[in-house]
Structure 1
């Protein structure tokens, strides 16, 4: 009986360590998500400011017929 209790206690410690590791990974991923959301917001703001400046300068006729190839990352 004592050995069963000790084995269960050992299993509990193992589970607790595993839970802490998984929580740390989840926290790290949350931090990454927050950072990426901030980067995305910054890029969207930058894009909007570029569009605003481009629209303020008027049409660029020399680029009207320019065809851009799509790039995939």
Structure 2
């Protein structure tokens, strides 16, 4: 089995899916829009870039800090 990724205009999606189904091709639709991190995650990433993150010597030390 091979995977083929094609980009189809939104208004043509149902037509292409119907054609592929008629040909016996499995169709899996993926959203073309990448997910954006929420405000809290963006703030945390900025904090880390500024060197304000915490470092731990071990996993145990990390879990003990929680």
Q: Shorter-chain-normalised TM-score: which range?
A: under 0.3
After TM superposition, the score normalised by the length of structure 2 is: 0.24
After TM superposition, the score normalised by the length of structure 1 is: 0.23
Relative contact order (alpha carbons < 8 A, sep ≥ 6): 1 or 2 greater? 2
Q: Identify the structure with the greater helix proportion.
A: 1
